[in-house]
Structure 1
Amino acid sequence: MTTSDLDQTLHELAAFFAGRGVSAWLVGGAARDMARGVAPADIDLAVDGDGIGLSRDLAEHLGGTFVPLDGENSTGRVVLPARVSAPALVIDVARLRAPSIEGDLRLRDFTVNAIAIPLAEPWPDSRLLPPASWIDPTGGLADLRAGVLRAGGPASMADDPLRILRAARMGAALGLRATPELAGQIRAAAPGLARVSAERVRDELLKLLDCPSSAPWLRYLDACGALTTVLPELEPARDCAQPRVHFLPVLAHMLETVASLEWVLRGLGGVWAADERPEALPAAVRAHPGLPRGLPYAERYAALMGEARGGGRRRAALLKLATLIHDNAKPQTKQTHPDGKISFYNHQEIGSDVAAELCRRLRLSRRDASYVAMVVREHMRPGQLRAGEVITRRAVARLFRDLGDAGPDVLLHELADHMAVRGPQLRPDHWAEHLRWVGEMLDTCWGQPEERRAPLLRGTDLIDTLGLTPGPQVGAMLRAIAEAQAAGEIASRDEALALARGMLE
């Protein structure tokens, strides 16, 4: 939303509430964004009246849709469709939770969210708001200028333990640093996260993972005892030692892999760009500052990782979730052999089952849960393929056939995993070769023209031409044809039919 769009909307809102004799204030993220000089994407309002009734009337007045949010706290939502002069907009209207706006602000989660601007008529230019316009009882404006994240009060985390995850998300999204006392408040309130609904935990966790630099805050949550309260499946990995090729135990390695993945993604720029503070850099990059990170097919990767999923989150957030838990089954599969070698046989298969159950507990959609479980299950396949002496086109085709549209994602994970395994011992020449290898792999799917990737035959073609009946046999033929096509062994409908006939014989 541009500043002019914002001011026009606020002018309309101010006139609406003034006409009903209701005091209203711009609060929460909207006021915080304006204090940062950023036009907010959505608008949060506090009113000294019935939030449900007022939002219903406002929706009718503006031609939007009314959505009741919280009857107990009298909160309603107005969803405005995109217009010629303005984009789509969400306006939340909530009744004051205290007798005054100052009292309401003191009940909020963080000081940077506890600032307000009276919605006065006529509404001035947002860029010229005088300092006296701001209501700031907890010092949120000073904290925002200093880049500090401070709880709204000593009981803020205990009042709603979900605020623990929100603290990490806000810190990551706004580039804030936590005050020393916040860690103690989070540590004391962390056990309460186990009682928060799965849906609320899921949404905040994925919002955090959707940020360009979530890894430092994942580590912060772990240091405060909150990460494995939310994801208890990871606790056994904390002290699980690994072979000498790894420089970290399992849990720290998974966190390092997220940091490595984010570093690669930030190289794409755009929505992934972020201020790279030292704590956000993986150990390999700190040891070798000149490492290249130009991803092959960068534009395709940017579009893929930015793909919208449910809840407004991007595909990258789900890949990071899979990365965060990818080695979860190493502790239960660990074997130390007589010669001292350590193995984790079948940890990816068992870990995929654990990941699927974790996703069900967090109430992820079936589609998203299947994606996360697949990345965990297949995360070793590219590395195993790369370790082979000879890589055939058919083996590459089989890999992408089995992984479906998640093939490029698994390659990206394997790249980050490799960096996180080696850490400071990463050899820059090996890293550059790895990037080149990823490009060669992607050439087989993204580098082919559309006509080379379109199926040569469909199931109905086999049924009609060869007189087959629907069933597993048809599926097996289609997979074989697709594999041969991807390997460059066949290129026409007639050749595909010949292969199918050969399979029948």
Structure 2
Amino acid sequence: GLNSPLDEVNGVGRVVLVNQEDTSTRDKWELDFSTLKGSIEQDLAQRDFTIDAMAVDLEEIVSHPLPPSEGRDLGKRDKVPLGFTILIDPFKGWDDIQKGVIRVVTETAFPSDPVRLLRAVRLAAELDFSVDTETETLIRRYCQLIASVAGERVREELLLLLAMPQAGQLLAYLDELGLLTAVIPELAQAKGVQQPRVHFWDVFDHSIKTVVAVDFLLGQGTWEYAGEEVLAAVPWSDALSQHFERGVSSGSTRRSTLKLAALLHDIAKPQTKAIDETGRARFLGHAKEGADIAVSILERLRFSAKEIKQVEVMVIHHLRPTQLSQYEVPSRRAIYRYFRDAGEAGVDILFLSLADHLATRGQYLDLAEWQEHAQIVEYVLARHFEEESLTVPPKLIDGHDLINIFGLNPGPEIKRILEVVREAQAAGEVTTREEALACIEHLLTSPPPKNK
């Protein structure tokens, strides 16, 4: 097999064994080895949780193998159905497995490696276990230590949490434990920041609920404030399913980056809040400023450039879908401009806008308004997936044509003219090269509009 060091200082390495007889199955075993630190009991005492602090005597297994269907009776416990002859379990990890409990081995486990603070919640979610009450108390006590962990390790745990069903509920649980604002301190400012009456929650709770709503829309959770008729209005297809399964970077998919953007989309509302002359709260510029803050957060946590760009674009344009049209289907030109600016994140932003809508109205959701919003999203998605020429018009002319035919000099004017032609193509006003050239001729010979 392949081997690689994981922690040379502490003598930890990994061996990967691959099924050589049938490589098509991609079956593999990852075995981690570490140098023994004192006795086996002393070594296990340095593990994170009791369910990870068990061992077997390999010599005993080799010397006295048992058929896979048998096991040794361990007192009042059930037989271990793995053929173990002796289970070394000084911290009762087997009991905790049977009870479905994540319990820390010792109080020093978190200070010795604070990433375990997040791992406790993640393991509980993965295994459908619960975190022991005393362990929760220790997490609250040591939660601020997460700031000392390398950003890469925090990113890995955060992405694993976001990839799970009910990720929004997990984020709410992290907040109960004091971990969410320890990982992202910028979120703390959003607590208690009230919004206009149309909003059911303050900025912080709205942000969490937006992630819960994303889970609901993507089939990974429930929304307690609405029935089946709300979900029935949401467009879905195999193409959308494949879109959100697509990887963004190592360890992340478009689904997980959408949830991340949902958490951060209003991160700048506390800084941009102002009260207008009518007494209404306004958050002018919060999307642009929020995108800058989101980039800063994700850079600190060592997210990849692709992940950061994806979230940045979603945050800065999260209001665009509701601005595409007023009570009617968007024009072809508006749809073109939307995908021109949002790029490949345009699909994701449409779902972010739906989640934002649910997390704004809460239990006061107006079904007719929701269905209208969903219909516009469905229309834009249909144009995107069914009419590639709308969002990516075929090239009819290029900069060389403008220089050679119209005698223009290289510069930003060429870019502006080509964009005018592409918009005209998207609108269906230009379909051939001849029409494109005529459009440019008209543009160059028409007098500039007068400033009013």
TM-score (norm 1): 0.76
What code does the residue aligned with 1:175 have?
A: D
Contact 1:79/1:88 (8 A) holds in 2: no
Q: Give 1:112's aligned residue.
A: 51
2:298 pairs with 1:359: yes
Pairs within 5 Å for 1:425-464: 425-448=364-387, 453=392, 455-457=394-396, 459=398, 462=401
Q: Give 1:326's aligned residue.
A: 265
Cα offset, 1:405, TM superposition: 0.6
TM-score (norm 2): 0.85
Say which SS state the counterpart of residue 386 (structure 2) adopts.
coil
Q: Give 2:92's aligned residue.
A: 139
Cα offset, 1:215, TM superposition: 1.4
Higher Cα Rg: structure 1 or 2? Answer: 2
Cα offset, 1:115, TM superposition: 3.5
Residue number among 224, 230, 234 corresponding to 1:291 in the alignment? 230
Pairs within 5 Å for 1:464-475: 466=405, 471-475=411-415
Q: Evaluate the alpha carbon distance shift between residue 456 and residue 117 of structure 1 in structure 2; reply closer, same or farther with a 3 A threshold.
A: farther
Residue number among 372, 392, 400 corresponding to 2:331 in the alignment? 392
Cα offset, 1:458, TM superposition: 6.4
RMSD: 2.9
What code does the residue aligned with 2:346 have?
A: G
2:129 pairs with 1:181: no
What code does the residue aligned with 1:360 have?
A: E
Contact 1:322/1:375 (8 A) holds in 2: yes
* Structure 1, 315-324 or 403-412: larger mean CA deviation: 315-324
Contact 1:257/1:324 (8 A) holds in 2: yes
Cα offset, 1:162, TM superposition: 1.2
* Structure 1, 447-456 or 223-232: larger mean CA deviation: 447-456
Cα offset, 1:483, TM superposition: 2.6
Per-residue deviation, residues 273-306 of structure 1 (Å, max 9, x unmatched)? 5xx5xxxx33423xx3653256424222221211
Say which SS state the counterpart of residue 291 (structure 1) adopts.
helix
What code does the residue aligned with 2:96 have?
A: D
Q: Evaluate the alpha carbon distance shift between residue 385 and residue 454 of structure 1 in structure 2; reply closer, same or farther with a 3 A threshold.
A: closer
Contact 1:292/1:432 (8 A) holds in 2: no
Pairs within 5 Å for 1:25-64: 62=1, 64=2
Q: Evaluate the alpha carbon distance shift between residue 306 and residue 97 of structure 1 in structure 2; reply closer, same or farther with a 3 A threshold.
A: farther
What code does the residue aligned with 1:85 have?
A: D
CA distance in 1, matches of 2:100, 2:430: 60
Say which SS state the counterpart of residue 4 (structure 2) adopts.
strand
Cα offset, 1:210, TM superposition: 1.7
Contact 2:329/2:379 (8 A) holds in 1: no
What code does the residue aligned with 1:492 have?
A: T
Contact 1:73/1:97 (8 A) holds in 2: no
Q: Give 1:51's aligned residue.
A: none
Cα offset, 1:179, TM superposition: 2.1
Q: Evaluate the alpha carbon distance shift between residue 458 and residue 76 of structure 1 in structure 2; reply closer, same or farther with a 3 A threshold.
A: farther
Per-residue deviation, residues 227-277 of structure 1 (Å, max 9, x unmatched)? 1111111111001011111111101100000000011112xxxxxx5xx5x
How many residues are matched? 428
Per-residue deviation, residues 413-451 of structure 1 (Å, max 9, x unmatched)? 000000000111113343333322211011121122679
Cα offset, 1:330, TM superposition: 0.8
CA distance in 1, matches of 2:426, 2:138: 56
CA distance in 2, matches of 1:241, 1:148: 38
Say which SS state the counterpart of residue 456 (structure 1) adopts.
coil
Cα offset, 1:355, TM superposition: 1.2
CA distance in 1, matches of 2:418, 2:111: 57
Contact 2:213/2:223 (8 A) holds in 1: yes
CA distance in 1, matches of 2:320, 2:302: 28
Contact 1:171/1:217 (8 A) holds in 2: no
Cα offset, 1:475, TM superposition: 2.9
Residue number among 194, 200, 214 corresponding to 1:247 in the alignment? 200
CA distance in 2, matches of 1:449, 1:351: 31
Q: Give 1:160's aligned residue.
A: 113
Contact 2:16/2:28 (8 A) holds in 1: yes
Note the residue ranges of structure 2 that are not aligned, 5 or more in a row.
70-80, 446-452
Contact 2:100/2:128 (8 A) holds in 1: yes
Contact 1:171/1:177 (8 A) holds in 2: yes
2:152 pairs with 1:199: yes
CA distance in 2, matches of 1:118, 1:211: 35
Contact 2:291/2:316 (8 A) holds in 1: yes
Q: Evaluate the alpha carbon distance shift between residue 450 and residue 152 of structure 1 in structure 2; reply closer, same or farther with a 3 A threshold.
A: farther
Contact 2:398/2:418 (8 A) holds in 1: yes
2:420 pairs with 1:480: yes
What code does the residue aligned with 2:415 have?
A: G
Say which SS state the counterpart of residue 309 (structure 1) adopts.
strand
Q: Evaluate the alpha carbon distance shift between residue 384 and residue 95 of structure 1 in structure 2; reply closer, same or farther with a 3 A threshold.
A: same
CA distance in 1, matches of 2:441, 2:365: 50
Say which SS state the counterpart of residue 225 (structure 1) adopts.
coil
Contact 2:233/2:371 (8 A) holds in 1: no
Contact 1:456/1:496 (8 A) holds in 2: no
What code does the residue aligned with 2:376 have?
A: W
Cα offset, 1:174, TM superposition: 2.6
| Paired-residue identity, % | 37
Pairs within 5 Å for 1:233-312: 233-266=186-219, 281-285=222-226, 288=227, 291-293=230-232, 295-312=234-251
Say which SS state the counterpart of residue 351 (structure 1) adopts.
helix
Contact 1:193/1:229 (8 A) holds in 2: yes
Contact 1:445/1:453 (8 A) holds in 2: no
